[in-house]
Structure formats: C-alpha cells, structure tokens
Structure 1
Amino acid sequence: MWFTLKGVLLWTMHDYPGYAQVSGFQTSGYAACPTCGPALPVARSSHLSKQVYMSYSTFLPMDDPLRGTGAERNTTEPPIPLDMYWWEQRWRDVEEGHIPAERAGLKRWSILHRLPYWKDLMIQHLLDPMHIEANVTKSLIKRIFGKKDGKPARRACEEFGVHPEAWIQVSDGGIESLPPTPWILTTEERKICKKRISEIRFPTGFGSCLRKSFEKDGPKWPSALKSHNYHILLQYVLPICLQGLGTQYLRDAICDLSVLMRWVCSKTIRIAEIDEKELFAITTFSSSRKTNQVPFSTRIHA
C-alpha cells in the first residue's frame, strides 16, 4: 500500500553565529537584533573599531530607578518587537536601494522563507544556550584576567563616559599609565582563583578535566577548555572560587549571571517565570553599568 509522507520544518537549532548564517539576519554591528531591528540602541566606538550596546535601561519599566534621574534619565521606550512581515518589506527596500545594506539588519533573505508557513511560525530558530554561555564566559574571564585590557579599551571607557576610574592617567612628563580597575583581578588573586578550581572535587565524569587544566601554576588562564567546561565554570565554579577576590560588585554580578544561566539551562521552565527572569537579566546588566564596576556592561545586548 502506497501513501504520501510529508515533512514539515518547524524550527532550526544552532549557536548565535550559526543563527546569522541560517536566518540571514545580522547578529553584529548595527541593527544586530532581529527583535529590535533599527531601533536597537547602538554606538560606534572609534577606539575599539566596533559597535557597543550599553542602553540596557531602555528595556526597563519607565518608573524603574535604574533609568536614572534628572537630565541623565533614560526616557526612551523599549522597541516594538518586529515580525517577519516587517522584515520582508525591509528586504524589499534593501533590494530597491532605499536602505543601505550594512544598516539593514539583514545580510540576505533566507531560503527558508520560501516555505509558505515559515513567516507565520511563532518560533523559527532555537539557540543553543551552552555555546552562547561558553562565549559569554570566555569574554568575561578574559576581561577579569586582564587579557582584554589595554589603551584602546581604556580610551573607549572615556569615550562613552563610563568607568572613570579606568581612564588613562597622564603624568606631568606626558607619560601615560593604566590605573588598576575594579574588575581585573590582581596577579595574586588570579593564582588563588586557579588554585581553588584545581582543588575542587567534582563528581565522577562531571568536571575532572577542569582539575587537570588548572593544576599548572601561574596566573594565566588555561586555553584547552571545552564549551561544557565553561558551562560548569559559570554556573557552579566561578561564583564560589571568586569569593573574597575582586570587588563585591564584580562578585554579585557574576553570581546574578550564574543564577540567570542556570535558569535558562534548566530542564523545566515555568511560563509564569519568563517575564520575571527577563526583567532580572535586564536589571543585572543595567545595575552593573550604573555601578561602573563590572566589565560586561558594554558588550552584551539585553
């Protein structure tokens, strides 16, 4: 007996760079958020030669104190989420030359849109949280271990008026110096952090390679770590091993980020918790920028 078998593509699953390749949307630069589109708060740093995203308070409730006070208060309302019909018209405008391609938010119109039902799906692409979490953790560790520190980063802080304690100081003789920053651990603190990780006794098969990677002496961070290692580090290890190291603001921010990622990666997520956790994420990044103490406040789009 013969019958017709039909298949339906419901969604795709990939990390964030893969999301850009499959969907055709931009995930960096201007209009890098498919939800916000051109309304994404973004600024170009001439010293870093890249775009930075810092206006997290835009996504907070209008009466939230983290929006600021007086003349510095952020009165911008959150962008309206965009749907596929809006992006379809956007791509037509790009093809007709009405909008510059580099600021369109689209690199190409995905072949998936040939499916008649694709634009009506509520969820088209699923993101792999572990690989995204690994990239965030790598960036965070490079910053607190001083690997991303330098004159361009300090000048970028001065360019945007954040982290004044990190601005380059010039002596009377014209010599520039980099003052210590509250988010970079000292050499001794880095050694202590690595030593604590190497002494942790993990369950069998859970993080044994972490101990081996951190057994070597010295302040440098090991390079041979996999995505799952960074997953364990952020969610369980760093909040413990950083106790007593760095500033209280830094430790609190990393603990909040750890709590957030544990919730994102949990097996069961209650619908009633989604709005609460979304606000918690925005508050975490907004408060980190307001205190001028945490390094990831200029890198992650809420």
Structure 2
Amino acid sequence: MLISGPKQPEYDINVYLAPLIYDLKLMWEEGVQCFDAHRNERFTLQAVLLWTINDFPAYGNLCGCSVKGYKACPICGEETSSIRLPYGKKNAYMGHRKYLPRHHPYRRQEKAFDGNQEHGTPPLPLSGETIYNKLKDKTFPCGKRSTRRLNEDISNEYWKRISAFYELAYWKKIHVRHFLDVMHIEKNVLMNIIGTLLDIPGKSKDGLSARLDLVEMNIRPELAPVSDGSRTYIPAACYTLSREEKVSICRTLSDLKVPEGYSSNFRSLVSLENLTLSGLKSHDCHVLMQQLLPIAIRGVLPNNVRIAITRLCSFFNAICSKTLRISDLDKLQQDVVETLCLLEKYFPPSFFTLMVHLCVHLVREEKLCGPTYLRWMYPFERYMKVLKSYVRNRNRSEGSIAEAHICEEAVEFCSEFLSGLDPIGLGSFKSREEGWIERPLSAGSSITPSQVVLKQAHLHILENIEEVHPYREYDSLPLTNDIWKS
C-alpha cells in the first residue's frame, strides 16, 4: 500500500490498517495450520506483534497523538516541556534539568540556563492501559477537519485518534509499542551540530533570530546583537568558529581515508570553498557522529563545548553498540541528561529541536527492549530501496512492486532445484573456483623489506599469535625449586 503525500490519510490510517488488524487478531486468537517438515506433522502457528518502527511523522499517525507543537514528545505526552520562540517562530524543547537527581547543582543554577531554578520532576510515560482507558469512550471525527471546533473537550487536543492496534487483546499490555527511530534522531542531532558549528545557511541554529530570542528570554546578555547604525553585529559565542577553524574541520573530513564500504567518500561531500557538508546519508551521519566528529573538532573548540559534544557522540556510540551491560544503563541515562544540560548552557534555545530532546528517552527503550541495532530503521530503509527498484510504471507503483516480488520468488524457487546456477548476488562458480577473489584489485609495485622490518613483523606475529601464549605464560613463571616439588 503506497499513498502519495497530498492524499496520505494521516490520522485516518486506521481505515487502511483494518485488514492487517484482522490478520493479527486471527494469528493471536486462532492461529493458522502449518506443516513441520522435520517432524512430519502439522501444528498451529500463532504470532504476536511486539512493536512498530517508523519515521517520526508516521509514529504520531500510528500512535494517534500529536508529534508537533507544544506537546510534541510522545513519551512526555501532555507534560512536554516546551517554549515558543517568538523570533525563531518555532518551539524549543528544553528543561532537561528536571531529569537530574533532586539535589544536583545544575537545578539551582539560574544564569547559566533559562534564568530560573528547576524543582520539577520528570513526567512518567503513560502505560498502554492508561491510554486505552482514557480514549476508549472518546469520539474522534474522521477526515481532515479541525477537531477543535468539533470537540469541546480541550484536553482531547493532544490525542487525535485511538490507535487501531488497541483492538489486539495484548497491545495495551506491551510497555513500548512504538520505537523511537534512532537512525533519524542521530542524523538530525548531527545536522544541528554541524550546521551550527560551520554556520551552514538554512541548517544553522544560530543567527539573528536566535540571539533576539535570548534577549526576549533575558539570558546571556553578552550574546545580544549590537546595532551600529544600519548594520547589526552578532557577537561570537563559545561555539563560533573562525574561517581557519572551519577549514580545519572540513579538510580533516576531506582528507580522511576509510576502508571500502565503511562510509561514503567524504571528499565528495565536503566543500572546501563554501565550508559546508551536503548530501550526507543516514549512515554517513552515523559514522560521523560516533567516530569522526570528535576527531574533527579536536583543537578548534573550547574545552567545555568540545567535551559536551564528545559526550553526546559517546552516548550514541554506547547505545548503538552490540554489547551493553544492564548495570551501565542507569549511568548512561545520567550521562545523557547531564550532557543535554551542558548543551543548554552553551547553545541557543533554537538548537533544541524535538529530535535533540528525544535523546533523553532512548535509554528507557534500551532497558525495556534490548540493543538498538536489533530494532532500528537501517534494514527497513535498505529494503525500501529494493522495493523502489521494482517500480517500472510510476503510475501503478503498487502493481509493479507486487509483480516484481512474485517474479523474484519464482526465480529463487527455481534456483533451488536447477543445478549449475548461482544464487542471486554471488559471482559465478567458475570465478570462485579459479581463485579470482584472491587476485589483486589493481596493478601494484613490489617492494623488498629490510631485515629490520622483517624482524619487527616476525616479533609482532609472535607476540600476538594465540599459539605462543602458553609459552609466554610459562616463561613468566618464577624459576624456583618449589614449583617442581609441587
């Protein structure tokens, strides 16, 4: 089912989900008969939907809540902390000090933050049963009409629909029903940082409107714009870079050499003339955020700003790792909250978009649902690319995908029974048998290493090969007669 942008159902997606809900209810309540080839018997197969993963606008459509405006955070819900920036014409989602321990010193600091002390407590996520009991008796009008005029209950503005998944008996029992998209969160956070540091037009979160918002909030008077006749001067902030420092960052990324398939060629993404980055894919942002950005900003930023950005990079590196100790998650949650508070000290309020705020909720999903790499959007985005390649008639894209999928299934089925053919995606048997895989990629020049280099290589192998470890342990034992007596 592909729905074009102007005609997308938005919160009326429940109508299109009805066939899926019917199948899921059947799989849970009755199941379907399947055949076990190993035991040569039939059995009843039942299935359960554990979670969904989407980009953020689709998250709100499936969840049935608003994901924009003052109450845009689906985890904080109606207790989302946000302010409207009068000059930036957007909402800023700050107030991360409420996630700190009660007696943390940041809570009492006023001048460094928004001019007020913080004594609040973090909002508790609503359970599925609470949401269902709250919405089951509500009436939601269908169609793209204003619900404010049709419903007198002002508290109902946050909830647009009751999710169709609540028709499943087990859905309200699940702790995390819709996952936050770490892939796009990481990308948006990185673009906020890169755009602000390099002052990229259209992507920077700093500017005249951001400084006027600081004046309106009566904080950081040293950053207020200064008018001199017909010109307005914007003072440099702690994150403002000179042209030489911007050149240093761009040249570091441009001259970087990485293994094939590690990331895109940053030389083609970095403009040394305009000092900008463009055309970054999600995986490029993933590599840049976790590995390359801390190296690129080394030596070009003050220590306090550099440490705050590096801590945020380390946080994403930790939650995306394949192994993570449960005992470290509480410490990781405290670190990301303190990091966001540090960023509130240095960056303007316009920097704190909703994607930056959602970082504070990622550890919670890590605790309840396991490692991030098992439930992020990368495999689904790759499969979407495969589906897009099936489209030959753009006027009938759904039919093109269905026909191509059936054709591919038929080819794979036949390839299992026809000998002498290769599976899709592999080279021919002849090329693998003749050892073409081990041939050089291109012409190379031969060198003759010196005896010193050969001895160093030989020593390196002996020190790192596993078979030598028992001899090294034996050599480290003390030479006393007591050992032989025992």
TM-score (norm 2): 0.56
C-alpha offsets along residues 1-31 of structure 1, whole Å, 9 cap, x if unaligned? 7654333211112233332232223232222
Cα deviation for residue 246 of structure 1 reads 2.7
Cα distance in 2 between the residues matched to 1:261 and 1:94: 41
Cα distance in 2 between the residues matched to 1:34 and 1:213: 34
2:242 alignment partner in structure 1: 186
Q: Secondary structure at the match of 1:170?
A: strand
Higher RCO, 1 or 2 (CA under 8 Å, sep at least 6)?
Answer: 1
1:200 alignment partner in structure 2: 256
Unmatched runs of 5 consecutive residues or more in structure 2: 1-40, 141-150, 361-486
Q: Secondary structure at the match of 2:179?
A: strand
Judged with a 3 Å threshold, the aligned counterparts in structure 2 of structure 1 residues 100 and 122 are, in CA distance, closer, same or farther, namely closer
Q: Which of 220, 225, 230 lines up with 1:168 in the alignment?
A: 225
> One-letter code of the match for 1:24?
G
Judged with a 3 Å threshold, the aligned counterparts in structure 2 of structure 1 residues 254 and 8 are, in CA distance, closer, same or farther, namely same
2:352 counterpart of 1:298: yes
Q: Secondary structure at the match of 1:176?
A: strand
| Runs of 4+, deviation exceeding 4 Å | 1-4, 92-96, 293-297
2:83 counterpart of 1:43: yes
1:138 alignment partner in structure 2: 191
Cα distance in 1 between the residues matched to 2:125 and 2:264: 43
1:259 alignment partner in structure 2: 314
> One-letter code of the match for 2:283?
H
Cα distance in 1 between the residues matched to 2:139 and 2:70: 15
2:216 alignment partner in structure 1: 159
Cα distance in 2 between the residues matched to 1:131 and 1:69: 32
1:242 alignment partner in structure 2: 297
Unmatched runs of 5 consecutive residues or more in structure 1: none
2:334 counterpart of 1:279: yes
Cα distance in 2 between the residues matched to 1:49 and 1:238: 30
2:112 counterpart of 1:58: no
1:78 alignment partner in structure 2: 122
C-alpha offsets along residues 100-144 of structure 1, whole Å, 9 cap, x if unaligned? 554x2x332221111111011122122332222111111221111
Cα deviation for residue 81 of structure 1 reads 2.6
> One-letter code of the match for 1:210?
F
Cα distance in 1 between the residues matched to 2:251 and 2:172: 51
1:109 alignment partner in structure 2: 162
Q: Secondary structure at the match of 1:235?
A: helix
Cα distance in 2 between the residues matched to 1:208 and 1:98: 51
> One-letter code of the match for 1:13?
I
Cα distance in 1 between the residues matched to 2:326 and 2:281: 31
Cα deviation for residue 152 of structure 1 reads 1.5
Cα distance in 2 between the residues matched to 1:235 and 1:161: 35
Cα deviation for residue 97 of structure 1 reads 3.0
Q: Secondary structure at the match of 1:136?
A: helix
Do 1:85 and 1:119's aligned partners in 2 also have CA atoms closer than 8 Å? Answer: yes
> One-letter code of the match for 2:207?
G
Do 1:143 and 1:295's aligned partners in 2 also have CA atoms closer than 8 Å? Answer: no
Do 1:157 and 1:163's aligned partners in 2 also have CA atoms closer than 8 Å? Answer: yes
Judged with a 3 Å threshold, the aligned counterparts in structure 2 of structure 1 residues 159 and 36 are, in CA distance, closer, same or farther, namely same
Cα distance in 2 between the residues matched to 1:101 and 1:85: 17
Do 2:210 and 2:350's aligned partners in 1 also have CA atoms closer than 8 Å? Answer: no
1:30 alignment partner in structure 2: 70
Cα deviation for residue 222 of structure 1 reads 2.7
Cα distance in 2 between the residues matched to 1:170 and 1:93: 54
Cα deviation for residue 90 of structure 1 reads 4.2
- Report the identity percentage: 32
Cα deviation for residue 79 of structure 1 reads 1.7
Q: Which of 269, 278, 281 lines up with 1:223 in the alignment?
A: 278
Q: Secondary structure at the match of 2:126?
A: coil
> One-letter code of the match for 1:279?
Q
Cα distance in 1 between the residues matched to 2:58 and 2:220: 33
Q: Secondary structure at the match of 2:61?
A: helix
Judged with a 3 Å threshold, the aligned counterparts in structure 2 of structure 1 residues 72 and 191 are, in CA distance, closer, same or farther, namely same
| Structure number, greater radius of gyration | 2
C-alpha offsets along residues 170-200 of structure 1, whole Å, 9 cap, x if unaligned? 23x4643222222232222211111011112
> One-letter code of the match for 1:170?
S
Cα distance in 1 between the residues matched to 2:104 and 2:139: 37
Do 1:185 and 1:246's aligned partners in 2 also have CA atoms closer than 8 Å? Answer: yes
CA RMSD of aligned residues (A): 2.5
In the comparison of the two structures, how many residue pairs are matched? 297
Q: Which of 85, 88, 99 lines up with 2:132 in the alignment?
A: 88
1:125 alignment partner in structure 2: 178
1:11-22 matched pairs, under 5 angstroms: 11-22=51-62
TM-score (norm 1): 0.88
Cα distance in 2 between the residues matched to 1:127 and 1:289: 22
